[in-house]
Amino acid sequence: MKKTALCGPAALLALWFACTHFHLANALLLPTPAAAFRRLWELVSTGELNVDARATAFRWTAGYLLGCAAGIPVGMLMGASRAIYAGLEFMVDFLRSLPVTALFPLFLLVFGIGDGSKIAMVFASCVFVVLLNSAYGVIHASKGRIRAARTMGANRWQVFWWVTFYEALPHTLVGMRTALSLSLIVVVVSEMFIGTQYGLGQRVFDAYARNSIAELYALIILIGVVGYALNKLFVTAERHIVFWAGK
């Protein structure tokens, strides 16, 4: 399995090498893999990216955690109550249909040009994904287990906390994992378009503006690797948290 997992990256690197070696792409637009990885090593080994990485990590973490903290309880309440679901359905569907990155002037107007606007954009990209998955999990909770709990004398809140919550947890974690990758994309894009002194998105924009193509690709590789690592860590944690899922 581990060897198979390396086939995709190896094929991509081979294609990249072939494009540059045989001059199938303009050298001004596509550097060699060696140049990109050499620049990546320089950026990481010298600590040149430390300040930018910390700034991006703070914005991403704050927005993601706030999105999950708001999305999980609201989603579960929507799933548990038809009245609440009906009352919030239009607003949720309307807001989640709006592209977050296209609304950055609104975020600038409300939250300013500091970290607040970027955190708010990350929050907006996460909250509805987590909310809807949480609601879906509650709605599709096992009716048999709920009836069994009621038969044994559990009240409404006991059924919710000891049965429905755990039934919904696998779906909730799927929403959190989806929001994890989406939020990383949004925080980088927000740093590129809203602008900031520090941040990986700002470094990407600066590299593009300076036509530093090797650094541009190095940063893209780094962000992709970080996203992949976060996803793998989340999947590992998910297997331990909802170990009963699928059984």
Residue 7 counted as domain residue: no
Q: Is residue 6 part of a domain?
A: no
Helix axes 7-21, 33-45, angle to 10 degrees: 120
pLDDT band at 4 (very low <50, low <70, confident <90, very high): confident
- Say what the pLDDT of residue 247 is: 54
Q: What is the pLDDT of residue 113?
A: 82
| 61 within some domain | yes
CATH of the domain at 235: 1.10.3720.10
DSSP letter at 1? Answer: -
- Residues 200-247 have pLDDT tens digits of 999 999 999 998 999 999 999 999 999 999 999 999 999 988 877 655
Is there a domain that residue 20 lies in?
Answer: no
Q: How confident is the model over 59-63, as a mean pLDDT? A: 96
Residue 171 lies in a domain: yes
- Using pLDDT thresholds of 50, 70 and 90, give the confidence band for residue 3: low
Report pLDDT digits (tens) over 38-51: 999 999 999 999 99
**% of the chain at pLDDT higher than 70:** 98
| Cα separation, 236 vs 238, whole angstroms | 5
Following DSSP, what letter does each residue of 99-164 receive, concatenated?
-GGGGHHHHHHHH-SSHHHHHHHHHHHHHHHHHHHHHHHHHTS-HHHHHHHHHTT--HHHHIIIII
Of 10-24, 124-138, 169-183, minimum mean pLDDT range: 10-24
pLDDT of residue 9: 86
* Domain containing residue 42: 31-241
Tell me the two tokens of residue 205.
């924009």
- The three-point CA angle 206-215-119 to 5° equals 50
pLDDT per residue as tens digits for the range 201-213: 999 999 999 989 9
Length in residues, the chain: 247
Q: Is residue 173 part of a domain?
A: yes
pLDDT at 160: 81
Mean pLDDT within 19-30: 85
Q: Which residues lie closer than 8 Å to 225 by C-beta, 6 or more apart? A: none
Query: Are 18 and 24 spatial neighbours (Cβ–Cβ below 8 Å)?
Result: yes
More confident of the two residues 150 and 66: 66
Q: Is residue 143 one of the residues assigned to a domain?
A: yes
- Is 199 inside a domain boundary? yes
How sure is the predictor about 2, in pLDDT bands with cuts at 50, 70 and 90? low
Q: How many domains, in total, are found in the chain? A: 1
- Please say whether the beta carbons of 168 and 141 come within 8 A: yes
Q: How far apart are CA 58 and CA 190, in angstroms?
A: 13
